Amino acid sequence: MLLSVISDIHGNLEALERALEISKELKCDRIMCLGDIVGYGPDPEACVKRVREVSDDVLMGNHDQAVVQPDRIDQFNEMARSAVFWTQRQLSAESMKYLRNLPYTSTWMDLLFVHASPKNPEEWKYLFTPDDAAEQLDAMMSNVCFVGHTHVPQFFTTDPAARGFTLKTEHKYIINVGSVGQPRDGDARLSFGLFDTDRRIYQPVRAQYDAKQTARKIRATDLPSFLADRLLRGR
Ligand code: ZN
């Protein structure tokens, strides 16, 4: 089976549609969404509807949570806050209810899925370095965990001899699929991941999409224009 793992869409419909198109062309059997469907981007409602329609499983991200539980906004900077308030005004009651009920974790076959980190996923920890990941790998019961949250595609493993993305059952892996709708690693192309469950091979995907269109839409709203510039820069 081929699994498509998408995360951090952040209201970017152009990037979401492109990632779904690629997943369809490659005949993915399942689509897993790791959360942060909304926040930052100009099309939160359309993205929630689309993710609901196509995903087999969807998780809660910190931005989804902040939109539906305003008491969880304290960790947000000024720009993220204004995007949360703007997003709240765009979402239907049905989409708000949907976001409120998303789970923090999910498992499928022997795979674990979370938005931020496998240990205490509701704390929204950022795993940027091997040190950040070490404690998490240690505590992890499953062999493989897919995460998003940092918007930086990364691969952490207990296997010191790891080459490429073929996963072994005797080692543990935390795979960050990056962000579909707001990449921050200096590469403006959308990012997500494919996992072949039979061959145990992970494949990172980067692809161009119409970021200029998304940036134009952001500039036509009250959202901070920095959010448009950031999409074109990829950081
Ligand atoms: Zn995010």
Compute, in angstroms, the gap from residue 161 CA to the centroid of ligand 1.
31
Compute, in angstroms, the gap from residue 8 CA to the centroid of ligand 1.
4
Least confident of 7-11, 80-84, 192-196, 226-230: 80-84
User: Residue 157: its pLDDT value, please?
Assistant: 96
Compute, in angstroms, the gap from residue 57 CA to the centroid of ligand 1.
17
Question: Cβ contacts of residue 142 below 8 Å, gap of 6+?
Answer: 107, 110, 111, 112, 118, 172
Compute, in angstroms, the gap from residue 40 CA to the centroid of ligand 1.
9
Q: What percent of the chain has pLDDT over 90?
A: 93
Cα–Cα distance, 99 to 80 (Å, whole number): 17
Residue at 120: amino acid letter:
N
User: Residue 180: its pLDDT value, please?
Assistant: 98
Cα–Cα distance, 169 to 6 (Å, whole number): 23
| pLDDT greater than 90 at residue 137 | yes
Mean pLDDT of the chain: 96
| pLDDT greater than 90 at residue 163 | no
Number of Cβ within 10 Å of residue 103's Cβ equals 13
User: Residue 24: its pLDDT value, please?
Assistant: 98
Compute, in angstroms, the gap from residue 93 CA to the centroid of ligand 1.
22
| pLDDT greater than 90 at residue 164 | no
- Report, as an integer, the average pLDDT of 80-91: 94
CB 35 within 8 A of CB 7: yes
- Report, as an integer, the average pLDDT of 55-78: 92
Compute, in angstroms, the gap from residue 149 CA to the centroid of ligand 1.
5
Neighbours of ion ligand 1 (CB under 5 A): 8, 36
Compute, in angstroms, the gap from residue 68 CA to the centroid of ligand 1.
15
- DSSP code, position 166: B
Compute, in angstroms, the gap from residue 12 CA to the centroid of ligand 1.
12
User: Residue 207: its pLDDT value, please?
Assistant: 98
User: Residue 71: its pLDDT value, please?
Assistant: 83
Compute, in angstroms, the gap from residue 60 CA to the centroid of ligand 1.
11
Q: Express each pLDDT in 183-227 by its tens digit.
A: 999 999 999 999 999 999 999 999 999 999 999 999 999 999 999
- Report, as an integer, the average pLDDT of 37-45: 97
Compute, in angstroms, the gap from residue 110 CA to the centroid of ligand 1.
25
Compute, in angstroms, the gap from residue 36 CA to the centroid of ligand 1.
5
Compute, in angstroms, the gap from residue 233 CA to the centroid of ligand 1.
16
| pLDDT greater than 90 at residue 162 | no
